[in-house]
Structure 1
Amino acid sequence: MKGDAAVIHVCEALASGILRVVPALADETVVAGIPTVVVYGRRPETPEDMSEWFDPRVRLVPVDGWGDRSAVGGCVGTVRAAVALRRELSRFHGGVLHLHSTYAGLVGRLVPAPGWARFYTPQGYAFLNGSHPRGLRWLTLVAETALAPRAHTIACSRAEGAVAARLARRHGVSVVQNGVDGELAEPGVAPAGEGFVVASVGRAAYQRRPDLFVEMRALLGEDGDTAFHWFGDGPDRELLVGAGVAVSGWLAQRDAAAAIARTDVLVHFSAFEGLPLSLLEAMRAGRAVVASDLPAIREVVDDAGILVRDAPEAADAVRRLRADESLRAELAARAHDRAERLFTKRAMVERTLATYGL
């Protein structure tokens, strides 16, 4: 890169899994002496003080209202994001522009960016989101197809890469799998009366299918020694609470790691995926996992967990793991080994920068 070039990351919602990816990439380039900028919107789960997540030399540019999903608010936020991005692009003479997730991808591929190499990581295509109206999904698919030539797609899983290749046709697609780091955490202090802990982690919304977690919990019935937790928060919080699931709210990273460490079985339902970082973190923590049988999740779990198609199969899997401590320990060990060997943050960062050409 030229001496006056930069790396700019754009994120419509700097939260959840993307909050594990972008700081790792941004810190790597700013430490190497490359000016690095993050333009981002906010969700309720976005930390108030983003400076705690980044090297202090990374320039952070929040965009008010970007992330608002109402019709008017969404349009206003998108315009503000485009203006903010144009302003940041004008400060440098080209470089790398990396767009993270669908809405950032739409803005960043429409804004003129001569001299910039554009990269786009969907982290789960929005047109696969069955909770969106059919018309919106169709429009998103049309937009993805039309805009595919305007950026090199860096898919976060082989499954996402296969979708990207169909959309991009002859244009560039690379696969860089998400990765996590971290040693086994010390378990947090369990509330009195808890014995066997079944939990899920993430945003309580359609993609993570909290309705299936509730159905599974009902099928498992009442057992005074089993506790059901959802570590996270979201619009479907009350659905979970009403079914007797303890919802923690958003936790600091250290507290979330401690909560996962005291979980006996981590259940990861999903409607669609890029490559789930919360599942990788549970595997890295040495937890037995039960997860939806989707292509991206098969890519992660393989034989290191139990894959299920619905809530009854998940309930059966939890019963098996509760009854068989040796099976639980074996799957937990396999999960830790697989995450540690194949899905590291270091590999993710190095492969991404190599794709940039740095």
Structure 2
Amino acid sequence: MLSPKSNRILFVASVYTHLAAFHIPFMRLLQDKGCEVHAAASSSEGRKEEVEAIGVKCWEIPFARSPFNIRNWEACRRLKAILQSHHFDLIHVHTPVAAFLGRYLAKVTGQGPVLYTAHGFHFYKGAPLRNWLIYYNAERLAARWTDGLIVMNGEDFENARRMGFEPDKNLFYVHGVGVDLSRYARPSFPGGYIRAKLGLSSSDVVVTCIAEMNPNKNHILLLRAWKKLAERYADCHLLLVGTGELMAYLQEKVEKEHIPRVYFLGYRRDVPRILLESDIVTLTSKREGLPKSIMEAMAAGRPVVATDVRGSRDLVEDGCTGLLVELGDVPGLVAALEKLITNPELRAAMGVAGRKKIQDYSLEKVLSQMAAIYERYLEEIAG
């Protein structure tokens, strides 16, 4: 049980889109325990109102994702002012830049314990040397300000141990941000929802990618492969769910190169419906922490084709719950998608295996894991 006194908790991230997409269940968990929850992030990408709607006190901090952006000086000044005028019993930080500044400022202003969830370190096997020089050294420095580190994939766990964190003492391995399995129960949705809107038949094969349109998500690799697949299979359709800085560029590429049957669906609140009407889900990222879109695909019982990168490989068992391809391998991606496009029995078998594996990643189980971590640090204060 959390302390009976009303603990004040602060969530910090670069943007409110991150907090809205992944952390509202954890904010509610703390509220249900009687905590007063605050959040500090930039609303530049929207969704701040979703966090405010659950009763969280939101502070506007103009963080920039790039560590070199001058806006971070103003973000640092504003966050420091908040921390000087408020005491937080626990601070939970996310995203590299906001997490680094948040941890430093928490310590210099005498706040309570600081937890950091690494949603995928920016240094990883195969990462550019620049990433290791900047982000690895930044994390080693920030380790002294980090009371607890939460990771969600095997590679990050090992890197955290090398930085001196100790499992079950100040290092915790959780199953991502969790997925609400109840939202993927087929009887909840009528059939033909998205297919009818797009004019697709029940026999058409639908491949779906859910990802922010930025360089890391690597839609270019997917479109290169799709251009070849679309020439071979006239009944296949590609749904791209999400928005981002590269959306206009990708739309222009599809139009200029006459890549057929690609649908840009934008930001959606009906992802479970879309997944339940998809046949295959794909993600071609250059790096991941533990991708929620793959967890959602598995919850919907859909096979996944993904690049063999950290995070994705933690979820996708090659040949069992889906297929993994090497980063940059267009022919390999074509072959993997083709294998599933032409084999509905294999799709069904992999979907069943994925649904079974994802049980351990349910939101219910992750909430239980996080509740135990929160309680540990808040009880230290009470004691």
Residue in 2 aligned with 1:230? Answer: 240
How far the C-alpha of 1:13 sits from its partner, in A, is: 1.9
Are 1:344 and 2:362 matched, yes or no?
Answer: yes
How far the C-alpha of 1:206 sits from its partner, in A, is: 2.1
Residue in 1 aligned with 2:184? Answer: 183
Quick check: 1:205–1:234 contact (8 Å CA) kept in 2? yes
SS of the aligned residue for 1:125 comes to: coil
SS of the aligned residue for 1:116 comes to: coil
How far the C-alpha of 1:193 sits from its partner, in A, is: 4.2
In the TM superposition, what are the counterparts of 1:31-180 in structure 2 within 5 Å? 31-44=32-45, 46-47=46-47, 49-51=49-51, 55-56=54-55, 58-63=56-61, 65-67=62-64, 69=66, 74-84=69-79, 86-88=81-83, 90-92=85-87, 94-111=88-105, 112-128=108-124, 135=130, 138-151=133-146, 152-168=148-164, 172-178=170-176, 179-180=178-179
SS of the aligned residue for 2:220 comes to: helix
How far the C-alpha of 1:20 sits from its partner, in A, is: 3.7
Gaps of 5+ in 2: 379-383
How far the C-alpha of 1:169 sits from its partner, in A, is: 5.2
| Residues 118 and 158 of structure 1, relative CA distance in 2, 3 Å threshold | same
| Residues 324 and 150 of structure 1, relative CA distance in 2, 3 Å threshold | same
Quick check: 2:153–2:310 contact (8 Å CA) kept in 1? no
Q: Matches of 2:309 and 2:12 in 1, distance apart?
A: 28
| Residues 330 and 308 of structure 1, relative CA distance in 2, 3 Å threshold | same
Q: Matches of 2:155 and 2:125 in 1, distance apart?
A: 16
SS of the aligned residue for 1:40 comes to: strand
One-letter amino acid of the structure 1 residue matched with residue 340 of structure 2: L
Are 1:250 and 2:287 matched, yes or no?
Answer: no
Q: Matches of 2:241 and 2:92 in 1, distance apart?
A: 29
SS of the aligned residue for 1:37 comes to: strand
How far the C-alpha of 1:7 sits from its partner, in A, is: 1.4
Q: Matches of 2:286 and 2:330 in 1, distance apart?
A: 13
Q: Matches of 1:261 and 1:97 in 2, distance apart?
A: 37
Count residues with an aligned counterpart: 346
| Residues 209 and 131 of structure 1, relative CA distance in 2, 3 Å threshold | farther
Quick check: 2:240–2:263 contact (8 Å CA) kept in 1? yes
Residue in 1 aligned with 2:15? Answer: 13
Residue in 1 aligned with 2:208? Answer: 199
Q: Matches of 1:121 and 1:175 in 2, distance apart?
A: 10
Quick check: 1:39–1:62 contact (8 Å CA) kept in 2? yes
Q: Matches of 2:299 and 2:73 in 1, distance apart?
A: 36
| Residues 136 and 332 of structure 1, relative CA distance in 2, 3 Å threshold | closer
Residue in 1 aligned with 2:279? Answer: 264
Give me the TM-score of the superposition, normalised by structure 2: 0.82
**Largest Rg, 1 or 2:** 2
How far the C-alpha of 1:328 sits from its partner, in A, is: 0.7
- Alpha carbon RMSD of aligned pairs, Å? 2.6
Percent of aligned positions with the same letter in both sequences?
Answer: 20
Q: Matches of 2:218 and 2:370 in 1, distance apart?
A: 30
Quick check: 2:14–2:65 contact (8 Å CA) kept in 1? no
SS of the aligned residue for 1:233 comes to: coil
One-letter amino acid of the structure 2 residue matched with residue 234 of structure 1: G
| Residues 232 and 83 of structure 1, relative CA distance in 2, 3 Å threshold | same
Quick check: 1:157–1:296 contact (8 Å CA) kept in 2? yes
Give me the TM-score of the superposition, normalised by structure 1: 0.87
Equivalent of residue 301 in structure 1, options 316, 333, 344: 316
Quick check: 1:78–1:107 contact (8 Å CA) kept in 2? no
How far the C-alpha of 1:149 sits from its partner, in A, is: 2.1
| Residues 335 and 119 of structure 1, relative CA distance in 2, 3 Å threshold | same
| Residues 239 and 301 of structure 1, relative CA distance in 2, 3 Å threshold | same
Q: Which is further off, 22-31 or 168-177? A: 168-177
Residue in 1 aligned with 2:381? Answer: none
One-letter amino acid of the structure 1 residue matched with residue 330 of structure 2: A
Are 1:321 and 2:340 matched, yes or no?
Answer: yes
One-letter amino acid of the structure 1 residue matched with residue 140 of structure 2: T
Q: Matches of 2:127 and 2:227 in 1, distance apart?
A: 23
Q: Matches of 1:90 and 1:40 in 2, distance apart?
A: 17
How far the C-alpha of 1:249 sits from its partner, in A, is: 1.6
| Residues 82 and 121 of structure 1, relative CA distance in 2, 3 Å threshold | farther
One-letter amino acid of the structure 1 residue matched with residue 17 of structure 2: A
